Structure formats: C-alpha cells, structure tokens
Structure 1
C-alpha cells in the first residue's frame, strides 16, 4: 500500500508523552471503557485523545487481565466462535450496542453501522472487540498526521485487546476535536473504508505495515514531504 503524502513533521515526537485516565462503570464495568489520553510535550499539554473500548470477546477479557492483573472483574468467555453468536452472545452484543449508542457521536454511528443486525454485528470480523477513536486534538507544531497516527497506534497497543476492530471517523460525526486529523491518522495506519462515516483496521489480520511506515516518517532525517 502506498500512503498518501503527509505533512512534514516539525515538532519533535521524542518530547511527547501520553498520560492515561481510565473510566469504567461501577456496576457491570466490563462492557465499556473510556480512555482519556493527555498528550504532553516536555511535560506541557499539547493535545488529547479520547477512545472508547467496547469489549465483547474473551480476548478483551484476557487483555484486561494482562494489564490489570488477575483481580480484573470476570466478564464472559466462550468456548468457540459459534458460542459467540448463541442467544446469550446476541444478548451481550445487544448490550454492547446499547452502551456504545449511549455515548453518542461516533460511538452511536459504530453501534448503528458496525454492530447492527444488518451488518451481522461482529460475525464477519476477525476481531471481537471494538476500539473507537472519537476525539483528537493536537496543537502546532504537533498537529500532523504522522504524529496523530503514532499516538493512536501507541494507545491501541497499550490498552486495546489484541483482537480489536480499530475505528476512525471519515466524516463529521465526532463531537469536538479535529476529525480530519483523526481520519488521516487512520489512513496512515492502513485503515480501510467501511462507510461514508467510518474506516476500520482489524488487528486480528493487521501486519502493522502502517505502524512501520509511521515510525519511518517520524525517524530522524525522514522527509515526509517526499513520500
């Protein structure tokens, strides 16, 4: 895949750090997680990213155990792929759809389009969890697609389940932030078009070529304008 020309990286990405704030419901916390990430340069805030983690498959549960230890609350586990779409599995998908819809904005669009009965929920995807990037802001000189893509990739690596459908906006359905920059970040990571509103990257099959290209763009001496 040939990536589109990217804006030159002016700000030094080596100065950037990510600070995570995690929000989960007190009752039944295992269905939906909200991650607020503050982006800092030399300790000073230069932006933020919001991502919503919708956990459905047992891979999501395993990922949470690895991150937070064995005390992580039990959710649900299935013996095989067929069990995911039993009546019990459908009920869980309905609950995840409802929780995403309640978030509004891009999450509601994901619930309607990707988790809809028409699109057979998650049946046709390799991944069984959804990780929605719905708000991003970056101030100059860091507001360029390669840095936005690197931030998104780092956040998903750190907190998303291994089998996650990463979802980015392609329209104007986000509430606040820079939708165009978030869309460009998804494109650099090789996200594919799903609809007029969404593009996605299925981590179950992703070979991380996009991540490698982003890292090359951010490496010292790289000239993104020539790509």
Structure 2
C-alpha cells in the first residue's frame, strides 16, 4: 500500500509539473492581434505624395509659363495709325489774305503795281509748301502747268518753304500784270502741299482793279 501511494503521488506531481510547463510556454507567445478579426491589417503608406503643386513656381524642375502681354499695336479695341510715307505729312493753308476786298470770291488789286500777300500756315505735321502763279484758272485735278502760263512779271517771295505744325510764313506778291490768257485781267495764285501722301492746294483768284468784262 505504501508503494502504491508513492506511485500515485509521483504521478500527481508529474501532472502538476506538466500543467505548469504548458502555462509558462503559453505566456511566452505573442498575444493574438485583435485587429485580425475579420479586417486585414493596414500597413501605413509611406509613399511620398507626388501630386504636383498647383502654385506657379512651386513645382520642382518646372518653370511656370508666362503669358505674353499684349502690345499696344495688337491690343484688341485699339486702332493703330500707320506711319506716314512722307516726312512732310502736314498741309499748308492760306491765312490773312490782303488786300481784303473780296467781291464774289475775287481779290481785287492794282495790276500796275501789285501789293498783295497772305500768310502760309502749316498744320497736321511738318509741311512742305510752294506757291505758283498762273494766268488761267486750273482744273481741280490738274497738277502740271506749262511755263507759258506763268506770268513773269508777278513776283512771289518766298515761293516755297518748310513749316513745322503751327508755324507760319508771310508771303508777298509784287510786280505788274498786263493780262493773262485771252487778254483777261485775272491771275490765280496756287498754294500747294505737294509732298503729302494726298497732295492738297488752295487757289486764290485775283482781278485787276478797274478792269472791265469777265
């Protein structure tokens, strides 16, 4: 009986030791991951954000594009004026005509001793002007005249010149006139701006005082 009790006691001790060993091994293992219950574990995404910056000049390696500014010549809504083709774009005008005794648009002078004149005014830019005296009334589109129709005894001083815009030049008319084309007691003074892109002119009609007929 004593032997049997000793054997039972050894078996009980061995069982206790085995149970203790099992508990010690279980405590040394990692506890189960509670997040694995139905949902996969999430690994933090460490990939850097490569979305390009939307702020100009912030994106590495890229130079922001610059929108070209519209020049005054091409800006919408602006009308540009082309430069003149001539250095004399201005126009000459007759001012202060004397003698100031017009009748029916004709200036009357004493043709045995002419004493007349006017002022040339330049406007619209630099003006090149010239004066020509004729013994007949020129057509509006006539640009060339023969020397035979230029009264030699009617003297104009000066006959031409250049004026800046707003400047003026007195012109004197002297001499004598014995009759023009067909013996008519009339002569015409032309002030022209021949160097403009569109040449212009003014015509002043003179008649001898005391003359009879047309």
Q: Does TM, scored on the shorter chain, surpass 0.5?
A: no
Higher RCO (Cα < 8 Å, 6 or more apart): 1
Which structure dedicates a bigger proportion of its chain to strand? 2
Query: TM (normalized to structure 2)?
Result: 0.23
Higher helix share: 1
**Rg comparison, structure with higher value:** 2
